[in-house]
Amino acid sequence: MSVPSPIPHTLTIAGSDPSGGAGLQGDIKTLSALGTYATNVITAVIAQNTCGVREVHPVPASAIRTQLDNLLDDVHIDAVKIGMVSSREVAETLREALEVRRPRWIVLDPVMVAKSGDILVDAAGIEAVRDILIPLADVITPNLPEAAVLLEVTPPTTPDAMEAMLPGLKTLKSPYVLLKGGHLAGNSCPDLLATPEGDHWLPAPRIETDNLHGTGCALSSAIAAKLAHLPADASHERIVAAIGEAKHWLHEALTASRQLAVGHGRGPVHHFHALW
């Protein structure tokens, strides 16, 4: 059995993105840029680019379990980020494996709604995320349409309406909920963080850019990386600060994305803005 390393080990469980901005590849870039050793388990082979998704080829649950067990047999994982999970069988597989050898931190990005507004998973997939994976996670990062799907309500359009969603989201039993406010109108992008000790607004100005491909993946992976650096007995204040630092990192990655010219659609954030 391996022992903890001075450099934290992180894991992304996600589908692939050949264009490199989102999914598995975007997560690995984020986790690496923020000073962790990134590992991965692939859940789907996806034919996509900056303009959209053409085909999705899910990996069988048995193959996902083999990947995960084989990795955990060898590598100590400090934090894991889970991306899109479209079937109950895969959700149950992940829960079974991670409950046996649980990392210190589990961050779930409940990817269910595309930026176009299209629902990406069926009712069974939504229930699997809500009933199986969210209670397993330490932190969840829904955007406003995803939170509305989870609670079966209309997406909020104001900060007050975001606050009104928190009691329902807290009943889903993940201790930290980062409700992302990027879908609000206006010049700011406030996120609302619910914690066991109170709620916190994390304000940020809106950045005028079309390079929004993979922003949700980047934020959830950044949170996993920041949490992986914390000691096991980290205080509530340090956990909240780590989540805030991840949001700031994404803000800087979006600002620097104008340096990139990738594809003809929505380009990626600049994961390595602090290094290149």
The pLDDT confidence band at residue 182, using thresholds 50, 70 and 90, is: confident
Burial of residue 134, with CB atoms counted within 10 A of its CB: 0-12 exposed, 13-18 middle, 19 or more buried: buried
Determine contact, residues 202/191, Cβ cutoff 8 Å: yes
pLDDT tens-digit profile of 214-260? 999 999 999 999 999 999 899 999 999 999 999 999 999 999 999 99
pLDDT tens-digit profile of 205-224? 899 899 999 999 999 999 99
Separation of alpha carbons 28 and 23, rounded Å:
9
Separation of alpha carbons 252 and 136, rounded Å:
30
Q: Is the pTM of this model over 0.75?
A: yes
Would you say how long the chain is, in residues?
Answer: 276
The pLDDT confidence band at residue 174, using thresholds 50, 70 and 90, is: very high
Amino acid at 42: I
More confident call, 240 vs 113: 240
pLDDT at residue 73, as a whole number: 97
Burial of residue 159, with CB atoms counted within 10 A of its CB: 0-12 exposed, 13-18 middle, 19 or more buried: middle
